[in-house]
Homo-oligomer: A and B are copies of this chain.
């Protein structure tokens, strides 16, 4: 097995991109990544595209071949992967496996979602496909409802408060203001979060990530070739994934995601590192409670301790552990198939020292954490600057 490095990254601005379709967004992110890696489309040997529900959002399946054609990667193998909101992280891990295997050298990984061509109600229904359609969604629950159940139980067991959850949203909006790719460039106050409209008790609108359009792309290469293309390659130290039941009812506990815990344990083992070695992490804050669960499940805080730590500012930019410097799903936006790739782009930019106003000082090792649905899939990556 070969070691694998990121040699190029590209993003589109996330947001309500009314003027651009799915293929425009993919092309924009992809071309940015090719330029960043100083390579041409002829150099790409295989493509993975993460997209969750393009069939329902824009009527288009078969996205990988479309993406390859649109970017001029003529006739290469191309594969769409889908693991709900973890489609992007899954695509990155597939690219990692393929480069590690020796079957292909230069592999492009993209993530995209075009969500604003349908109504909010249609989008909610499409996103429901990430949960157990027969056993959960058909009974009337939605995704905010599933995460509200987790939040209520976390509050019950550990005394977590609505203010502490709101602190996640306040922090992530603050970070997003410093990110030109982010959907929201407006700080919000604790009071605004608490006063915002109730979605599913205790989660209010400002506890929820938005519906977004956007794309992200990464170019991977074997580590030994990486320096040919890029002065600052980022080495992937670990790439792991785990699953759990789709439906919450089948789980032993809903105050943590078992898939995250397993993927994290495996990642730290593969990288031969501990949580204290990580300088910054992009976690899957689809709802504010999800960020609290994540930093507990990943091992940064003991169960029940992350909410207070967040409210105390320990996860703010350049504090004890910088969490979601991009603004996270809450502030940067959440085009579902793109998110997992965007998280890795953010970590790569930080490790290269190119994150501008939101730069984490001395960032050497970063982590990403991408979740599908209510935790049936979790994908974790650990990365390191090697130059």
Q: Which residues of A contact B (CB under 8 A)?
A: 1, 21, 23, 52-56, 58-66, 68-69, 73-84, 90, 93-94, 97-98, 100-103, 125-126, 128-134, 137, 240-246, 250, 258-259, 262, 372-373, 376-377
9 closest A-B pairs by CB: A101-B101, A61-B129, A77-B241, A65-B376, A62-B84, A60-B133, A65-B243, A80-B82, A69-B245
Is the pair B137, A65 in contact by a Cβ cutoff of 8 Å?
A: no
Q: Which residue of B lies closest to A69 (CB)?
A: B245
Best-surrounded residue of A90, A93, A101 (most CB of chain B within 10 A): A101
Inter-chain contacts of A58 with B (CB < 8 A): 133
Inter-chain contacts of A242 with B (CB < 8 A): 75-77
Task: Please tell me how many copies of the chain the complex holds.
Answer: 2
Is the pair A65, B103 in contact by a Cβ cutoff of 8 Å?
A: no
Is the pair A75, B243 in contact by a Cβ cutoff of 8 Å?
A: yes
Is the pair A246, B100 in contact by a Cβ cutoff of 8 Å?
A: no
Residue from the list B61, B101, B129, B262 in contact with A97, Cβ < 8 A = B101
Inter-chain contacts of A245 with B (CB < 8 A): 69
Is the pair A129, B376 in contact by a Cβ cutoff of 8 Å?
A: no
Inter-chain contacts of A82 with B (CB < 8 A): 61-64, 80-82
Cα A262 to Cα B75 with chains together (Å): 8
Best-surrounded residue of A55, A62, A137 (most CB of chain B within 10 A): A62
Inter-chain contacts of A130 with B (CB < 8 A): 61-62
Q: Whole-angstrom distance from the CB of A261 to the nearest CB of chain B?
A: 9
Cα A98 to Cα B129 with chains together (Å): 27
Cα A93 to Cα B94 with chains together (Å): 12
Inter-chain contacts of A373 with B (CB < 8 A): 62, 65
Q: Which residue of B lies closest to A58 (CB)?
A: B133
Is the pair A81, B79 in contact by a Cβ cutoff of 8 Å?
A: yes
For this complex, 13 residue pairs linking A to B, each with C-beta atoms less than 8 Å apart, are: A53-B55, A55-B126, A61-B84, A62-B246, A64-B243, A65-B246, A66-B376, A75-B242, A75-B243, A76-B243, A77-B243, A79-B83, A81-B81
Knowing A62-B129, A101-B100, A128-B59 are in contact, say whether A80-B83 is a contact too (CB < 8 A): yes
Q: Whole-angstrom distance from the CB of A271 to the nearest CB of chain B?
A: 15
Inter-chain contacts of A60 with B (CB < 8 A): 129, 133-134
Q: Whole-angstrom distance from the CB of A5 to the nearest CB of chain B?
A: 16
Residue from the list B56, B64, B93 in contact with A377, Cβ < 8 A = B64
Q: Which residue of B lies closest to A78 (CB)?
A: B243
Q: Which residue of B lies closest to A102 (CB)?
A: B1
Is the pair A62, B376 in contact by a Cβ cutoff of 8 Å?
A: yes
